[in-house]
Amino acid sequence: MEKVQCLIIGSGPAGYTAAIYAARAELKPILYTGLQPGGQLTITTEVENFPGYPEGVQGPEMMEQFKQQAERFNVDIRWGIITEVDFSQRPFKAVADDGKEIMAETVIIATGASARWLGLESEQKYNGFGVSACATCDGYFFRGKDVAIVGGGDTAAEEATYLAKLCNKVYLVHRRDELRASKAMQKKVLETPNIEVLWDHVPLEILGDGKVVTGVQLKNVKTDVEKKVEIDGFFVAIGHAPNTSVFTGQLEMDNNGYLITKNDSTYTSVEGVFACGDVQDHVFRQAVTAAGSGCMSAIEAERFLSS
Ligand code: NDP
């Protein structure tokens, strides 16, 4: 059994920022990286809106720099996941996937969010065989081919333009007649000649030959007319769900599973447990806001411990 003052769960911008602040406040934090070390930014390409990088920076490179900064302050970074927690009394108990038990005076949750899926049976069947939720990870496999991407937000728009550089043709399938993406991203999509937006369409089934994807069956939601589009790759970009299943029954959550934090703070429903980044933010969801709330969590943990 290991005793610590501050356990940080998650390694995106929120987790690493919390770690840097907690370490500098001499809380000697340990940080569990989770399943995707570095978080969602490790599966993006260029980040142009994080201040301090006037020329932009690649997401994975930026997260490596976050990690190096945490290491500079001797944060104990561990590759692993927390599989069980007990927040019913302090010190709080957490169990890692290697069976290690940790007793923590404070816990900072920065587990972020993961990609949502449509929920089609064929989507599961062909996952990894033409179906993907990460264009920047898997787009390369579809060089010169035709692909479809579903969604109308910034992620879908960004990934569509990324795919357009690699692929012959990109169908952007969106269930409404206007995109949710920012105006700048919309403009990029609409001005890219090999992107065709299929407005008012939803995927009914991903078609395949039993091994790989060969097409998608779509329906126009206004006319109910169905059509088949031949593609080799199908990308899903319809938003994210918070990674909170391990905290079920321990912390208050909203209907979508996001952790609830008290106004103007990162306090959760249990005193001494703090939440920062996308796991508690379904509004802004930016790297810079996640980092900001990670800083808040560490300062609040420090004040909590010294009060
Ligand atoms: P969003 O929640 O913004 O968009 C999800 C999109 O998927 C919407 O267009 C939605 O349609 C559609 N959708 C949702 N469920 C379904 C479904 N079951 N079937 C079909 N379509 C569906 O998620 P994003 O991941 O795009 O963005 C998340 C956040 O991250 C946003 O705040 C965004 O601004 C930010 N972001 C910023 C970037 C940047 O600044 N560079 C890059 C990427 C993301 P509808 O519009 O009809 O609801």
pLDDT tens, residue by residue, 4-50: 999 999 999 999 999 999 999 999 999 999 989 999 888 777 788 89
- Choice between 215 and 136, residue whose per-residue pLDDT is larger: 215
Q: Name the fold adopted by 2-114+240-306.
A: FAD/NAD(P)-binding domain (3.50.50)
Q: What pLDDT was estimated at residue 292? A: 98
- Choice between 59 and 300, residue whose per-residue pLDDT is larger: 300
7 φ/ψ angles, rounded to the nearest 5 degrees: -105, 125
Question: What average pLDDT does this structure show over 141-166?
Answer: 96
The answer to whether 4 touches 103, Cβ cutoff 8 Å, is yes
List the residue whose alpha carbon is closest to atom 3 of ligand 1: 153
Give me 226's structure tokens.
């169905």
The rounded mean pLDDT for the chain is 96
Whether the CB of 81 sits within 6 Å of ligand 1 = no
Please report the atom of ligand 1 found closest to the CA of residue 283: 32
Please report the atom of ligand 1 found closest to the CA of residue 284: 32
Burial of 284 (0-12, 13-18, 19+ CB in 10 A): exposed
Interatomic CA distance for residues 159 and 59, integer angstroms? 14
Q: What pLDDT was estimated at residue 45? A: 72
Please report the atom of ligand 1 found closest to the CA of residue 154: 26
Whether the CB of 180 sits within 6 Å of ligand 1 = yes
List the residue whose alpha carbon is closest to atom 25 of ligand 1: 239
Per the confidence metrics, is the pTM higher than 0.85? no
Whether the CB of 59 sits within 6 Å of ligand 1 = no
Maximum CA extent, the chain: 64
| Tens-place pLDDT, residues 270-306 | 999 999 999 999 888 889 999 999 999 999 999 999 9
Interatomic CA distance for residues 245 and 258, integer angstroms? 10
Burial of 125 (0-12, 13-18, 19+ CB in 10 A): middle
Please report the atom of ligand 1 found closest to the CA of residue 152: 9
Whether the CB of 120 sits within 6 Å of ligand 1 = no
Q: Does 94 score more than 90 pLDDT? A: yes
Interatomic CA distance for residues 106 and 92, integer angstroms? 7
Same-fold call for 2-114+240-306 versus 117-236: yes
Q: What pLDDT was estimated at residue 137? A: 76
Q: What HEC string does 134-150 produce?
A: CHHHHHHHHCCCEEEEE
Q: Which residues contact 84 (CB under 8 A, 6 or more apart)?
A: 94, 95, 246
Q: What pLDDT was estimated at residue 156? A: 96
| Owner of token pair 């970009």 | 237
* Cis geometry, peptide bond prior to residue 29 (ω within 30 degrees of 0): no
Rounded distance from Cα 71 to ligand 1 centre (Å)? 33
List the residue whose alpha carbon is closest to atom 21 of ligand 1: 151
Please report the atom of ligand 1 found closest to the CA of residue 156: 26
Give me 66's structure tokens.
């976050």
The three-state secondary structure class of 4 is: strand
The answer to whether 22 touches 6, Cβ cutoff 8 Å, is yes
* Residues paired with residue 275 on neighbouring β-strands, in sequence order: 109
Q: What pLDDT was estimated at residue 153? A: 95
Give me 266's structure tokens.
């990162």
Spell 232-264 as b/e; 16+ CB within 10 A means b.
bbbbbbbebbbbbebbeebbebeeebbbebeee
Grade residue 240 by pLDDT with cuts at 50, 70 and 90.
confident
Q: What pLDDT was estimated at residue 284? A: 87
Q: What pLDDT was estimated at residue 87? A: 98
Rounded distance from Cα 265 to ligand 1 centre (Å)? 26
Q: What pLDDT was estimated at residue 285? A: 84
Question: Which residue numbers are catalytic?
Answer: 134, 137-138
How many residues can be counted in the chain? 307
Whether the CB of 239 sits within 6 Å of ligand 1 = yes
Whether the CB of 49 sits within 6 Å of ligand 1 = yes
Question: What average pLDDT does this structure show over 103-109?
Answer: 98
Question: What average pLDDT does this structure show over 216-244?
Answer: 97
Rounded distance from Cα 57 to ligand 1 centre (Å)? 22
Q: What pLDDT was estimated at residue 44? A: 73
Q: What pLDDT was estimated at residue 128? A: 86
Q: Does 3 score more than 80 pLDDT? A: yes
Q: What pLDDT was estimated at residue 67? A: 98
- Ranges of each domain in the chain: 2-114+240-306, 117-236
User: What would the CATH number be for the domain defined by 117-236?
Assistant: 3.50.50.60
Whether the CB of 150 sits within 6 Å of ligand 1 = yes
Whether the CB of 56 sits within 6 Å of ligand 1 = no
Rounded distance from Cα 69 to ligand 1 centre (Å)? 31
Find, among 63, 87, 67, 64, the residue nearest to 78 by Cα: 67
The answer to whether 74 touches 23, Cβ cutoff 8 Å, is yes
